[in-house]
Chain A
């Protein structure tokens, strides 16, 4: 007789922090390994986990590591709420509960053969980093790859060492801009949308992936469309009040969409009529 065991989607797996990296003054990266040392964790670029800090609470955090590397789970987040502030004080060896991975990933297969435009704003670079790792591990399958990254100031630049490394590659175009800067900064100043008209890609054969604050994604999508990228080739990663992670509780409902289950990666053409609506 074949027996099937239903695993509850609300069940946590215990993980241990193996490394803590301070990215900026309020943003940090945690590397995690299964506490039992045996479990494997596989995910696709763009998915997220529900991360539980015992005795404090549970929050959704996108996965920011390399999906082609087994055994290490990486989360990058900003210490802004009760849970993330406690998480920021945790040290190597600390324990966390993980549920996931959840949600629809970035459409990597759809992007194969096309130019790829990745537009990140602030902490939005974290959910896009796995997409870049994916592309770099199969570089020959993609056309031109352009990363446009905007953040608040030079001090807020995330993954600085990696950005410099990517910038030095001949098969990747990386442009960084900040909203304002003091004099030692010699790079671009201005919002990320100002990079789009000059970015080197073919808009008629490009797939765009955007992640950042909703206002930034809205104007970025408009600017990409103005440049000639079809709306159905623009994808955004939404963040709403995800609680259950599996489309049961309804907290993350966005019009007819549950962001945790139907997203967080959504086709812009599907949600463009909703993202500027005040009531939604």
Chain B
């Protein structure tokens, strides 16, 4: 039976992962597709999954009264969308909208959390990979906060 394993194995987020761990992850994965402007999740919704983007890109938006939906980041091919599934209270803090036709692999957060609890090396490996992504996002956010292009 054809599975998502070869696709997941090639994605930068999971590259080099132990094949046994990859097999565990595949059991929580499903193929998804979103048309332009389709919402992946909304702020306040329960965070039950995260996404490995294969093509297209997704806008992460925040609703600002008086300004409407402000895009604060876009996530594209080869990147990961969402980490709220990892930490209680498992709620999305932002809205994600497909900016164009987007293909991704959705990973069931509850399924993955259960496997991570049972398999500590898998949990540690995934956390290390997420920590690396979070580091990059925090660094980018710091630069955004500095508003370096504004008039000084």
Contact = CB atoms under 8 A, between A and B. Distances in A.
Interface of A: 26, 78, 80, 121-123, 151-152, 156, 177, 179-183, 185-191, 193-194, 198, 212-213, 215-216, 219
Nearest to A179: B144
Interface of B: 57, 59-61, 67-74, 76-78, 99-100, 136, 139-140, 143-144, 146-152
27 contacts: A80-B152, A121-B149, A123-B149, A152-B147, A179-B144, A180-B71, A180-B72, A180-B144, A182-B67, A182-B70, A182-B71, A183-B68, A186-B99, A186-B100, A188-B57, A189-B72, A189-B74, A190-B73, A190-B140, A190-B144, A191-B140, A193-B139, A198-B76, A198-B77, A212-B149, A216-B143, A219-B143
A219 to B, nearest CB: 6
A183 B147 contact: no
Lowest 3 A-B CB distances belong to which pairs? Answer: A122-B149, A152-B149, A213-B148
Nearest to B136: A194
Given A80-B151, A216-B143, 6 more contacts: A179-B149, A181-B71, A188-B74, A190-B73, A193-B139, A215-B148
A191 B143 CA distance: 7
Given A180-B71, A182-B70, A182-B71, A194 B140 contact: yes
Q: What is the interface of chain B mostly: helix, strand, loop, or mixed?
A: mixed
Given A182-B71, A198-B76, A189 B148 contact: no
Contacts of A213: 148-149
Q: What is the interface of chain A mostly: helix, strand, loop, or mixed?
A: mixed
A88 to B, nearest CB: 13
Most buried by A among B78, B100, B149, B151: B149
Given A122-B149, A152-B147, A198-B76, A219 B139 contact: yes
A16 B73 CA distance: 44
A244 B22 CA distance: 63
Nearest to A156: B149
Nearest to B75: A190
A183 B69 CA distance: 6
A219 B99 CA distance: 27
Given A198-B76, A216-B143, A189 B71 contact: yes
Contacts of A193: 139-140, 143
